Amino acid sequence: MNKQMFAKMAALLTLGVLYGSAASGQNLNAPAAPIASTASLNGARLALAVPESPSFLARTPPDWKDTAVGAVGGMVGGAIGGVARASSQASDGDRMVKEFAIADPALPIGQGLATRLRTTYRMTEVPATPAPVTQTVDAVIASAPTTDMILDVRSQVFGLNYTPKEPTNFFVMSISWARLIDARSHAVLAEARCIPVKSPPMQKFDQLVANNGEGIKAGLAAYVDPCVEQLAEKMKL
Pick the CATH number of 3-54+100-235 from 3.30.70, 1.10.10, 3.40.50, 2.60.40: 3.40.50
Backbone angles phi, psi at 70, to 5 degrees: -65, -25
Q: Please state the domain extents for the chain.
A: 3-54+100-235
Q: What is the pLDDT of residues 87-116, one digit of tens each?
A: 444 677 888 899 999 999 999 999 999 999
In terms of DSSP H, where are the helices of the chain?
Answer: 3-22, 66-71, 87-100, 106-121, 137-142, 205-221, 224-235
In sequence order, the 6+-apart residues with CB closer than 8 A to the CB of 124 are: 43, 44, 45, 46, 118
pLDDT at residue 165, as a whole number: 83
Q: How confident is the model at residue 61 (pLDDT cuts 50, 70, 90)?
A: low
Q: Under a CB-based contact definition with an 8 Å cutoff, are residues 51 and 135 in contact?
A: yes
Model pTM? Answer: 0.79
